[in-house]
């Protein structure tokens, strides 16, 4: 790959953040019937609010805990052999997840494998997109603290709520770049710094789709960090709203929960805003704006934001978290980019802290020349936690997944448990996608 030889860093970029301002009703009763959908996996700016009326549960439960992923795989290239090999990677990635989590319902993944540059226009040679994933639908749920937060559908399904907002057709939407020199487990050729272990990429992206995703961003590009905002059409004051992941974020070392910052930001009342531009123009002149500016500073200062792994023992408001507490019970998030990088900041674990640890998987960048196996082996986690390290396991448990007590490495044997609906797309389908993006 010519492009790869010219770059030193390969980015994992996810389309997991909301860059549009959503038109959401902020009235709690209305929120129950409004879900967020990311409509186009190739377009990071496209999301919409959909009606999701309450329905009775008909969850797809299966007896076997090893049969919990259904992947609808669209291969957008004509190399059938490569398509088949990529299919098999989903089997392996699913095995690692089901070796870690007790999934209660089947998780449906819509995945496509195509030339992302050609399909999206994302062609920066210094910043290659390897993959992108997001929850297909975010579902409102009232938390015990009384706040309504948005849950990824895959996670919401684990809660076993009988009456729930209507589910979308899939839980996770993922895209992977075919214009890459991938290395596959079992390849006779050796791993080199120009190759990428696709299993590593698929697993990383699926974890985002399961719920490693946050609502905070510099939405108006004004060096002010806020959660996403819902703007009503019925005159109700707009409000900032959080995802479930955000509930557990804390400032470091103070331990202050970011959800209390959201509360402060929501003191801002803009009665007249009918558009995002109007809203942020008004917000920029408000007493709450410095709070968002301060949050921007935190999001661009290394080691300033973490995910607290002990939700039952909230930090003392008057005492800073000790270094021991941070080491043991906090996942330090990536806040070293300045300016803020919406594809990398906060939505990943801190590279400095975790790259050489068993929690390496969710750093923002791919370690050149390393396979997933090598990373696990180097960290000594091959048989202990596998690629989903000890803190990531706990994090998934905190947001609501049931984590297995013990980890048994999956065995590469026959009878793959993931069911596929394989479809080889033709060039015309790709062109249609391109048209959708630009028009």
Closer to Zn ion by CB, 14 or 197: give it.
14
- Binding residues for Zn ion, per CB under 5 A? 12, 14
Least distance in Å: CB of 129 to Zn ion?
Answer: 11
Q: Scan for tokens 């540059």, then name that residue.
A: 117
Distance (Å, rounded) from C-alpha 297 to C-alpha 300? 5
The single-letter DSSP state of residue 226 is B
Nearest approach in angstroms of CB 223 to Zn ion is: 23
67 vs 338: CA distance, rounded Å:
43
| Residue (12 or 114) nearer to Zn ion, CB | 12
Are 43 and 134 in contact by the 8 Å Cβ rule? The answer is: no
- As measured in angstroms, the least distance from the Cβ of 344 to Zn ion is 8
Q: How far apart are CA 289 and CA 360, in angstroms?
A: 35
Minimum separation from the CB atom of position 208 to Zn ion (A): 5
Nearer to Zn ion, 12 or 202 (CB): 12
Closest distance of CB 307 from Zn ion, Å:
14
Q: Which is nearer to Zn ion, 14 or 341 (CB)?
A: 14
Query: Measured from the CB atom, is 12 or 379 closer to Zn ion?
Result: 12
Give the rounded distance of the alpha carbon of 385 from its chain centre.
Answer: 21
Region for 328 from its dihedrals, namely left if φ exceeds 0, alpha if ψ lies in -120 to 50, beta otherwise: alpha
Question: Between 12 and 395, whose beta carbon lies closer to Zn ion?
Answer: 12
Q: How far is the CB of 424 from Zn ion (least distance, A)?
A: 27
The residue with its CB nearest to Zn ion is: 12
């Amino acid at each position: 790959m010519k492009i790869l030889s010219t770059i030193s860093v390969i980015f994992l970029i996810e389309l997991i953040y909301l860059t549009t301002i959503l038109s959401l009703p902020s009235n709690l009763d209305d929120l129950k019937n409004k879900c967020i959908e990311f409509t186009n996996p190739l377009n990071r700016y496209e999301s919409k609010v959909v009606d999701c009326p309450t329905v009775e549960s008909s969850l797809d439960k299966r007896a076997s805990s090893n049969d919990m992923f259904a992947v609808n795989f669209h291969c957008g290239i004509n190399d059938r052999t490569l398509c088949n090999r990529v299919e098999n990677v989903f089997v392996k990635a699913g095995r690692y997840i089901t070796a870690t989590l007790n999934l209660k319902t089947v998780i449906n993944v819509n995945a496509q494998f195509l030339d992302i540059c050609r399909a999206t226009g994302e062609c920066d040679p210094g910043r290659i997109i390897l993959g992108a994933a997001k929850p297909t639908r975010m579902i409102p749920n009232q938390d015990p603290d009384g706040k309504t937060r948005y849950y990824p559908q895959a996670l919401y399904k684990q809660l076993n709520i009988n009456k729930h907002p209507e589910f979308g057709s899939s839980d996770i939407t993922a895209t992977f770049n075919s214009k890459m020199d991938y290395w596959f487990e079992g390849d006779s050729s050796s791993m080199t710094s120009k190759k990428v272990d696709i299993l590593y990429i698929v697993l990383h992206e699926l974890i985002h789709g399961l719920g490693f995703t946050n609502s905070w961003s510099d939405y108006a590009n004004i060096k002010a960090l806020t959660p996403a905002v819902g703007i009503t059409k019925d005159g109700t004051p707009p409000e900032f709203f959080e995802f479930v992941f955000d509930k557990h974020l804390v400032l470091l070392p103070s331990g202050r929960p970011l959800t209390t910052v959201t509360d402060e930001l929501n003191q801002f009342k803009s009665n007249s805003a009918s558009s995002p531009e109007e809203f942020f123009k008004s917000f920029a002149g408000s007493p709450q704006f410095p709070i968002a500016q301060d949050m921007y500073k935190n999001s661009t200062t290394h080691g300033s934001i973490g995910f607290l792994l002990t939700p039952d023992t909230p930090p003392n408001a008057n005492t800073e978290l000790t270094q021991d507490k941070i080491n043991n019970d906090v996942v330090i998030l990536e806040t070293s980019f300045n300016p803020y990088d919406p594809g990398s900041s906060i939505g990943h674990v801190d590279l400095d802290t975790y790259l050489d640890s068993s929690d390496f998987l969710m750093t923002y960048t791919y370690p050149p020349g390393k396979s997933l196996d090598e990373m696990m082996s180097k960290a000594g986690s091959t048989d202990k936690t596998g690629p989903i390290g000890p803190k990531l396991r706990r994090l998934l448990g905190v947001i609501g997944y049931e984590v297995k007590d013990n980890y048994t490495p999956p065995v590469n044997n026959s009878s793959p448990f993931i069911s596929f609906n394989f479809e080889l797309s033709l060039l015309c389908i790709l062109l249609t996608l391109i048209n959708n993006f630009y028009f």
